[in-house]
């Protein structure tokens, strides 16, 4: 190879080397520039992220609630005092029966419940029965009140009793199957003396009367004729009559008698005792009769004295003289009182 040819060959490689160095340098420069740019971009991104994080609040703010206006509380209604339970009624001493009031002044809740149960089962609230001896029979006892105002009775200052007369119309003049001359508590409790077919065989007079008439109230009064049989028989059968009456959900009104054939008032005390035991009303007939001459009885007799013109004139002096006038008024007041107590009606009279 000639010198010239070798020189040209060498120059060619030199230029190739120079070009390669230049290319490498340019690549290095581009790499460095690109790296710097990337570093600057990374730094800028870091700064932007920092600024963004700084702008975000560290705690989520709690929204402020709009205050709700509160209502002024209304005053509470006054607390009602509990209704006190009725206190137990103190039973009166039967031995002190003479000082008991003339009229019943209280009806026990169980007696009132019995009354309304009886009505629900068919007892008639407009009927009462009379159970007793000759002093319980028509027409002297009660009959006048079915005879009309003025012709049969004069109420005078006792006009409030007209309501009871109207409510129980036709009970007054009814002939009871359980009232008879000379009857005792024993007679009404066990014997059937009727020969007709109205009362059933082996049915007591009391049961027959209640079956036929279905009353809601019954007057039960004995003792005058029982004095001949003794106090034990009287107590036994009077208790039985009361129990049979209550079993039919009829309210018995027991009452004292005006006479004192036994001499010590023990029959009236026994009736008061039985009224206590069964919580039934007690009408103290003896009290108003005792204010009359001879206890309102005919001389040497057990039947009341009477005005031959009227047995029920309450507007004149008859109330200070005659036993039948006092007995009829007192009985009507007792009926009115028990009827009103049972039905929670306004009370009148003593």
What CATH number should be reported for the domain holding residue 318?
3.40.50.1110
Whether 320 has a pLDDT exceeding 90, the answer reads yes
pLDDT of residue 43: 60
Question: DSSP secondary structure string, 204-240?
Answer: -HHHHHHHHH-EEEEEEE--TTGGGT-HHHHHHHHHH
pLDDT tens-digit profile of 18-34? 766 566 655 554 454 45
pLDDT band per the 50, 70, 90 thresholds, residue 181: very high
pLDDT of residue 71: 47
Residues 27 and 160 in one domain: no
pLDDT of residue 211: 96
DSSP strand pairing (124-132 vs 282-283): unpaired
Residues 192 and 332 in one domain: yes
Whether 92 has a pLDDT exceeding 80, the answer reads yes
Has residue 336 been placed in a domain?
yes
Residues 292 and 208 in one domain: yes
Whether 35 has a pLDDT exceeding 90, the answer reads no
Has residue 3 been placed in a domain?
yes
pLDDT of residue 316: 95
pLDDT of residue 138: 83
Taking residues 292-308, report their average pLDDT: 95
Residues 11 and 110 in one domain: no
Rounded Cα–Cα distance for residues 165 and 146 (Å): 8
Whether 9 has a pLDDT exceeding 80, the answer reads no
Whether 244 has a pLDDT exceeding 90, the answer reads yes
Has residue 43 been placed in a domain?
no
Output the CA torsion sign for 177, 182, 184, 189. Answer: negative
pLDDT, greater one: 227 or 21: 227
Residues 119 and 244 in one domain: yes
pLDDT band per the 50, 70, 90 thresholds, residue 69: very low
pLDDT tens-digit profile of 116-163? 999 999 999 999 999 999 999 989 999 999 998 888 999 999 999 999
Residues 224 and 326 in one domain: yes
Taking residues 2-24, report their average pLDDT: 60
Output the CA torsion sign for 234, 240, 245, 246. Answer: positive
- Taking alpha carbons only, the member of 221, 219, 139, 218 closest to residue 174 is 139
pLDDT of residue 52: 44
Rounded Cα–Cα distance for residues 215 and 335 (Å): 13
Provide the CA 168 distance to its chain's centre, in angstroms.
26
Range of the domain at 4: 1-34
Has residue 177 been placed in a domain?
yes
pLDDT of residue 202: 84
The CB density around residue 153, as the number of other CB atoms within 10 Å, is: 28
Residues 19 and 153 in one domain: no
Whether 7 has a pLDDT exceeding 90, the answer reads no
Choose the weakest-confidence range: 179-193, 210-224, 270-284. Answer: 179-193
Whether 247 has a pLDDT exceeding 70, the answer reads yes
Percent of the chain at pLDDT above 70? Answer: 73
Residues 260 and 133 in one domain: yes
Residues 28 and 168 in one domain: no
pLDDT of residue 49: 43
Question: 9-43 burial, b if ≥16 CB within 10 A, otherwise e?
Answer: eeeeeeeeeeeeeeeeeeeeeeeeeeeeeeeeeee
pLDDT of residue 53: 40
pLDDT band per the 50, 70, 90 thresholds, residue 63: very low
Has residue 92 been placed in a domain?
no
Q: Are the beta carbons of 193 and 157 closer than 8 angstroms?
A: no
* 3-state DSSP assignment of residue 268: helix
pLDDT, greater one: 317 or 20: 317
Rounded Cα–Cα distance for residues 350 and 341 (Å): 14
Taking residues 267-294, report their average pLDDT: 98
Residues 8 and 108 in one domain: no
Mean pLDDT in the chain?
84
Count the domains in the chain. Answer: 2
Has residue 223 been placed in a domain?
yes
């Amino acid at each position: 190879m000639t010198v010239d040819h070798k020189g040209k060959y060498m120059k060619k490689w030199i230029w190739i080397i120079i070009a390669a160095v230049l290319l490498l340098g340019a690549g290095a420069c581009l790499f460095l520039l690109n790296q710097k740019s990337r570093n600057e971009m990374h730094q800028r991104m870091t700064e932007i992220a920092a600024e963004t994080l700084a702008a975000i609040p560290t705690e989520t703010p709690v929204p402020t609630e709009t205050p709700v206006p509160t209502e002024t509380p209304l005053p509470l209604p006054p607390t009602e005092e509990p209704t006190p339970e009725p206190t137990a009624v103190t039973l009166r001493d039967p031995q002190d029966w003479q000082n008991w009031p003339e009229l019943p002044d209280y009806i026990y809740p169980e007696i009132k419940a019995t009354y309304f149960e009886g009505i629900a089962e068919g007892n008639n609230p407009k009927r009462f029965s009379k159970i007793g001896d000759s002093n319980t029979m028509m027409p002297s006892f009660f009959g006048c009140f079915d005879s009309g105002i003025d012709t049969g009775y004069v109420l005078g200052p006792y006009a409030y009793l007209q309501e009871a007369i109207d409510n129980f119309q036709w009970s007054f003049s009814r002939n009871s199957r359980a009232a008879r001359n000379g009857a005792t508590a024993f007679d009404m409790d066990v014997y059937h003396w009727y020969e007709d077919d109205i009362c059933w065989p082996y049915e007591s007079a009391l049961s027959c009367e209640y079956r036929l008439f279905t009353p809601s109230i019954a007057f039960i009064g004995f003792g005058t004729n029982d004095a001949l049989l003794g106090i034990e028989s009287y107590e036994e059968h009077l208790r039985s009559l009361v129990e049979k009456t209550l079993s039919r959900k009829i309210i018995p009104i027991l009452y004292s008698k005006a006479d004192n054939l036994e001499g010590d008032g023990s029959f009236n005390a026994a009736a008061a005792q039985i009224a206590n035991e069964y919580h039934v009303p007690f009408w103290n007939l003896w009290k108003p009769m005792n204010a009359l001459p001879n206890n309102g009885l005919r001389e040497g007799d057990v039947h009341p004295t009477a005005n031959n013109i009227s047995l029920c004139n309450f507007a004149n002096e008859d109330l200070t003289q005659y036993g039948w006038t006092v007995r009829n008024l007192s009985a009507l007041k007792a009926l009115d009182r028990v009827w009103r107590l049972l039905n929670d009606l306004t009370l009148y009279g003593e």
